[in-house]
Chain A
Amino acid sequence: MADTLHFSLVSPEREVFSGAVQQVVVPGTEGDFGVLAHHAPLMSTIKPGLLRIFTGEREVRMFINGGFADVTPAGLTILAEDAVDLAQQDAAALEQQLQSAREELAAAGQDAPRRAAAQHALARLTALLAAFRAQ
């Protein structure tokens, strides 16, 4: 068996994933990249998208909403604003959330903070759905 990479995915609220993996494919702002064991030290920003974790036995697909990846000889660390396991999502529910986000945006009208929050939620859901479809 090939060398494994230590990977941890951390969101502001908790540590989402931590453990030894084979490979991780990260949606970098300048293009997706795969990280294997013994990768050169790298820091990269991340765009909202699909994160694929190959643990060796199975593949975990997650949606991460922006953040930052840090590769050191000790392993890969991703700091994400928000991480969602795509296996626990379904398209119909996401569509519905997207619809209600659109309605919220329409309802927000001229209320600036509410409008900004609704736009933020809408952008997040759109990217989440795109990642869900792309997998």
Chain B
Amino acid sequence: MPSLKEFRTRIASVKSTQKITKAMQLVAAAKLKRAQEAAEAARPYGERLAAVIANLASAVQGDGAPRLLAGTGKDGVHLIVVITSERGLCGGFNTAIVRLAREQIDALTRAGKTVKILCAGKKGRDQLRRTHGALIVETLDLSGFKVINAAAAALIGDRVQALFAEGAFDVASVVFSRFRSVISQIPTARQLIPAVAPEGVAKPDLQGGVYLYEPSEAAILDSLLPRYVNGQIFSALLENQAGFYGAQMSAMDSATRNAGDLIKKLTLRYNRQRQANITKELIEIISGAEAL
């Protein structure tokens, strides 16, 4: 049986851990709010760009279509961009993303394709290195960015497009976590290259007019597609960021609650032990008195 002093130190240490997890939970909640606002603010750009791309993609078809849209005509080599967080303490958030990435990689490998992995985020690389280390071609470090902005997305997007221009892969997709709510983040895979024109986008009503293109449809599409790819990555990053803080918040919340339960249990045992000691002393005194 541990002594009373040991109990006291143990309770004090759990209490200070609880304070830390509580603080982290509050910080994550505040950051989650900011991340959600950022995702909200970024939505108009993505929607407008998607509408324009859908519109142009239907106009430019066949041989004249840019390679980012048409692809290389093969699908032998796949690049998978795995977006995870830079930091941990967020429950199973990164593990869920990595699990989906692994499933995809294994399915592609079984189908006889070559797979290359590009990791954005330290945690994903650490987990993938053990099983698929040989397939990782590059890791991009985003910890230098205080907030996820368009420049961070461009860092990934430009690298992916440079690899595509070199002919390093045929198909690229991104694996990240979609933010549904604070308690629910869904690991999602989305194809990046060849760019998929979104469906179900309403065409603008031209009221009988015909679009003028400056310089030309193909040239506009050419200049927009790289932005579209970067935009897709940007939205994935923002969703991921919001999901990360959501996961961290609920992980820290349950950690705080666990610490509370532990403190209760320890306090109970501490009091029992103290009572037992008192009883024992009393018995000793009484039996000593009786012996006289």
Chain A residues proximal to chain B, CB less than 8 Å: 8, 10-15, 28-30, 40-45, 67-68, 70, 72-74, 77, 79, 81-82, 113, 116
Q: Is the Cβ of B41 less than 8 Å from the Cβ of A13? A: yes
In chain B, what residue has the closest Cβ to A28?
B214
Are B42 and A12 in contact (CB-based, < 8 A)?
Answer: yes
B150 to A: closest C-beta gap in Å:
4
Sample (23) of A-B pairs whose CB atoms are under 8 Å apart? A10-B44, A10-B48, A12-B42, A13-B38, A15-B41, A29-B215, A30-B215, A41-B206, A41-B211, A42-B213, A42-B214, A43-B52, A43-B211, A43-B214, A43-B217, A43-B220, A44-B220, A45-B215, A45-B223, A70-B52, A74-B205, A79-B45, A79-B49
Q: Which chain B residues (96-155) contact chain A, with CB distance < 8 Å?
A: 149-150, 153, 155
Residues of B bordering A, CB below 8 Å: 38, 41-42, 44-45, 48-49, 52, 56, 149-150, 153, 155, 158, 204-207, 209-215, 217, 219-220, 223-224, 227, 230-231, 234
Is A41 a contact partner of B42 (Cβ separation < 8 A)? no
> Which of A8, A12, A44, A113 counts the most chain B CB atoms within 10 A?
A12
- CB closest residue in chain B, given A15: B44
- Residues from chain A with a CB closer than 8 A to the CB of B230 are 12
- B214 in complex: contacting residue of A15, A44, A72, A81, CB < 8 Å: A44
- Please, how many angstroms separate the alpha-carbon atoms of A108 and B292 in the complex? 92
Q: Which residues of B contact A41 (CB under 8 A)?
A: 204, 206, 209-212
The docked-state distance in angstroms from the alpha carbon of A41 to that of B44 is 20
A residues in contact with B231, CB < 8 Å: 12
Residue numbers in A under 8 Å from B210 (CB-CB): 41
Chain A residues with Cβ below 8 Å from B212 are 40-43
State in angstroms the CA–CA spacing of A81 and B158 once bound together: 14
Are B220's CB and A45's CB within 8 A? yes
CB pair A68–B41 under 8 Å, yes or no, is no
Residues of A within 8 A of B223 (CB): 45, 68
Residues of A close to B234: CB separation below 8 A = 12
Chain A neighbourhood of B49, CB < 8 A: 79
Which residues of chain B have C-beta atoms less than 8 A from A11's C-beta?
45, 150
Measured CA separation A68–B214 after assembly (Å): 10
Instruction: Determine the distance from Cα of A116 to Cα of B151 in the docked complex, in whole angstroms.
Output: 13
What is the bound-complex CA distance between A90 and B192, given in angstroms?
Answer: 40
Q: Is the CB of A43 within 8 A of B42?
A: no
Residues of B within 8 A of A73 (CB): 204-207, 209
From residue B51, how far is it (CB to closest CB) to chain A in Å?
Answer: 9
Using A40-B212, A45-B223 as known contacts, say yes or no to A10 and B205 having CB atoms under 8 A apart: no
Q: Are B150 and A42 in contact (CB under 8 A)?
A: no
- CB neighbours (8 Å) of A30 from chain B are 214-215
Q: CA A12 – CA B83 in complex, angstroms? A: 19
Chain B residues in 8 Å Cβ range of A29: 214-215
Q: B42 contacts which chain A residues (CB < 8 A)?
A: 12-14
Q: What residue of chain A has the Cβ atom nearest to residue B212's Cβ?
A: A42
Minimum CB distance partner of A73 in chain B:
B207
Q: Which residue of A lies closest to B230 (CB)?
A: A12
Q: Which residues of A contact B44 (CB under 8 A)?
A: 8, 10, 15
20 more CB-based (< 8 A) A-B contacts, given A43-B56, A43-B220: A10-B45, A12-B42, A12-B234, A14-B41, A14-B42, A29-B214, A29-B215, A41-B204, A42-B213, A45-B223, A68-B220, A68-B224, A72-B204, A72-B205, A73-B204, A73-B205, A73-B207, A79-B48, A81-B150, A113-B155
